[in-house]
């Protein structure tokens, strides 16, 4: 049954289309930014471990939103200790800027999806061999949408989620290239770090409207 739960989370990430990458100087700020994004309709939150006591923020969000209203995941997870902290706090998926074999093993043990950051074909192959179902193409700003088609020629089975440099102007180009979702940081939730949570909500609505428009064409 746990395995089916993992499949459900992966499907919901794809359905959401966009995962908000939330940073912040404190637990309180990160939670407020996340809440503003969810209020705008964002169904996927990646709360990064650059936030002090990130596990506490994850626990608060999981308690408030549960399984139904939003998926709460942990980002910038560099080691298995951080991954376990996040999972114990209730994180429903784990995201890293790079691939870590020990983190992959831990996530497999708990049947929690692991989305590692990869840039090269070699890194992606290692991640696929370790059981990763979605790979975060990172940094997306360096790779560009053209990299997706280049990667999917030898690896047509790979599911990519670019993060870094994703914005409303290039959203369609990414999905046209074949990604299953995107991660959006400062272009989506950046205003929250200046206290403008209402703008985060408006940005979230704009992202979702754009994704709905893109998917309606397919």
- The residues that are catalytic are 46, 136
CB 16 within 8 A of CB 188: no
Where residue 153 falls (left for φ over 0; alpha for ψ -120 to 50; beta otherwise) is alpha
β-partners of residue 18 are 182
To the nearest 10°, the Cα dihedral for 178, 10, 21, 51?
-150
Q: What angle do CA 176, 209, 27 make, to 5 degrees?
A: 105
DSSP H or E run through 90: none
Cα torsion angle, 8, 35, 17, 52, sign = negative
């Amino acid at each position: 049954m746990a395995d089916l739960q993992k499949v459900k989370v992966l499907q919901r990430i794809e359905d959401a289309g966009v995962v908000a990458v939330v940073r912040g100087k404190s637990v309180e700020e990160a939670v407020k930014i996340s809440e503003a994004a969810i209020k705008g309709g964002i169904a996927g939150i990646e709360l990064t471990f650059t936030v002090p006591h990130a596990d506490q923020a994850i626990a608060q969000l999981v308690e408030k939103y549960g399984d139904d209203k939003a998926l709460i995941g942990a980002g910038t997870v560099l080691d298995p200790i951080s991954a376990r902290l996040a999972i114990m706090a209730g994180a429903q998926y784990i995201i890293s800027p790079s691939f870590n074999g020990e983190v992959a093993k831990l996530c497999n043990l708990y049947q929690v999806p692991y989305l590692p950051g990869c840039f090269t074909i070699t890194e992606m192959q290692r991640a696929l061999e370790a059981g990763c179902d979605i790979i975060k193409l990172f940094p997306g700003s360096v790779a560009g949408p053209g990299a997706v088609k280049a990667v999917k020629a030898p690896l047509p089975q790979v599911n990519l989620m670019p993060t870094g440099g994703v914005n409303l102007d290039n959203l369609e180009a990414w999905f046209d290239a074949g990604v299953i979702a995107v991660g959006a940081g400062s272009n989506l939730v950046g205003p929250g770090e200046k206290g403008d949570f209402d703008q985060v909500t408006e940005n979230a609505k704009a992202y979702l409207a754009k994704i709905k428009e893109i998917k309606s064409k397919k």
